[in-house]
Structure 1
């Protein structure tokens, strides 16, 4: 019998934790496994949208908003944060408003990726000097990473509400879903928490994007601190675990959560170091706006942590129906 992470966590919680806490842990794991965590993910979407909106807002401010399209991610991040909050209170808002704003935000990230590529190409030497112009030009994968919260919002729009898990209709639908023959479409898989392989694939892509961003961002700082190598070294580990998780349930329940937990912790530690870097600039906290603008990108490590979050979520979900 193959190792299942959620089953192992439930047994560990029942053995080691007092009753109220162990019950909460097992209930949360069941919600994740059955795809009934729409409200919770809506709150995550709202919080991540605020962080990514602030990050892109001050990065584009440094670019003087020279192109009107630079305002779009700032506006969309606010809209997505609001839609996430509405989705927490209303299932209708989650299935409609949150879904469409997420789609528009994802499209905006793809368009922004094109503009960043064009910005690199327009620098002196263009793509004939790829290393120099990628390092000194606009952060090439940042617009795609901006779509992280939008991707989570789109995912949340297809999930079920937490209260649906133990409702009569929810139990009937669960039984039908479990025993229905044939291959389910992606919407059904997502609705019932069966998208482990898909989310593992997304983790691989996001790890590559955020790892590349960390590489050239820290390269510009000449890797002054040894800790700056950590996201660069963890990136191939997370990518390998994600690729393995697509092919193997055992890897998805063992190597992927381990690598993802390291990435999540590394992103949190990196956030602390970036905040510390800002406070150590001349003027420190007395000049918060100036030092945030021209210090290390304060929320960038959280984008790497988001890869760990995606990987951990994938490890707790069920496999797609074949």
Structure 2
């Protein structure tokens, strides 16, 4: 693999792939800890490694057909992250004490779905910035 002369776009695709891989580990552990009590918890667990593989594949060989699939996947990632933010924020409010600082600290991590959205948007930026 020749890293010399890689354009920024290619490096960003690689970063997005590695970031989704790290997010996948975290989200899988967190949702497993909660016994997947809501079916929506499966969405980031299943989709994150798919996003990761697609982004890394694009960084390495850049097939045109995969770029079209990738942009769809990243928009789906934005939607998944948005739904996750709603569920996490709502989950904090369901805890005893409602939307208190303590519940934001020990309840579902409200910022994690925002990270999911941010990585998806970075993937979209890499796609559209050409």
TM-score in same-fold range (> 0.5): yes
Could you say which residue in structure 1 is the equivalent of 2:73?
259
RCO higher in structure (CA 8 A, sep ≥6): 2
Q: 1:259: Cα distance to partner?
A: 1.1
Could you say which residue in structure 2 is the equivalent of 1:203?
16
Distance in 2 between residues matched to 1:317 and 1:215, nearest whole Å: 31
Secondary structure at 1:282's aligned position in 2?
Answer: coil
Distance in 2 between residues matched to 1:243 and 1:268, nearest whole Å: 24
Distance in 1 between residues matched to 2:5 and 2:40, nearest whole Å: 43
Note if contact 1:252-1:315 (Cα within 8 Å) is conserved in structure 2.
Answer: no
Distance in 2 between residues matched to 1:244 and 1:294, nearest whole Å: 37
Q: Deviations over 1:104-163 (max 9, x none)?
A: xxxxxxxxxxxxxxxxxxxxxxxxxxxxxxxxxxxxxxxxxxxxxxxxxxxxxxxxxxxx
Secondary structure at 2:72's aligned position in 1?
Answer: helix
Q: 1:221: Cα distance to partner?
A: 0.5
Secondary structure at 1:212's aligned position in 2?
Answer: helix
Secondary structure at 1:314's aligned position in 2?
Answer: helix
Distance in 2 between residues matched to 1:236 and 1:250, nearest whole Å: 20
Q: 1:249: Cα distance to partner?
A: 4.8
| Greater C-alpha radius of gyration | 1
Could you say which residue in structure 1 is the equivalent of 2:41?
228
Note if contact 2:27-2:45 (Cα within 8 Å) is conserved in structure 1.
Answer: yes
Could you say which residue in structure 1 is the equivalent of 2:94?
280
1:294 equivalent to 2:101? Answer: no
Q: Deviations over 1:214-253 (max 9, x none)?
A: 0001111011101001001101220122123221251453
Task: Return 5+ residue gaps in structure 2 as ranges.
Answer: none
Task: Return 5+ residue gaps in structure 1 as ranges.
Answer: 1-183, 187-193
Q: 1:185: Cα distance to partner?
A: 5.1
Distance in 1 between residues matched to 2:32 and 2:25, nearest whole Å: 10
Distance in 1 between residues matched to 2:77 and 2:124, nearest whole Å: 10
Q: CA RMSD in A?
A: 1.8
Change in 2 beyond 3 A, CA 1:312/1:260: same
Q: How does 1:94-173 map to 2 (within 5 A)?
A: none
1:269 equivalent to 2:76? Answer: no
Could you say which residue in structure 2 is the equivalent of 1:159?
none
1:309 equivalent to 2:121? Answer: yes
Normalised by the length of structure 1, the TM-score is: 0.37
Could you say which residue in structure 1 is the equivalent of 2:26?
213
Distance in 1 between residues matched to 2:124 and 2:65, nearest whole Å: 12
Q: Deviations over 1:174-206 (max 9, x none)?
A: xxxxxxxxxx956xxxxxxx5221111111100
Note if contact 1:195-1:317 (Cα within 8 Å) is conserved in structure 2.
Answer: no
Note if contact 2:77-2:117 (Cα within 8 Å) is conserved in structure 1.
Answer: yes
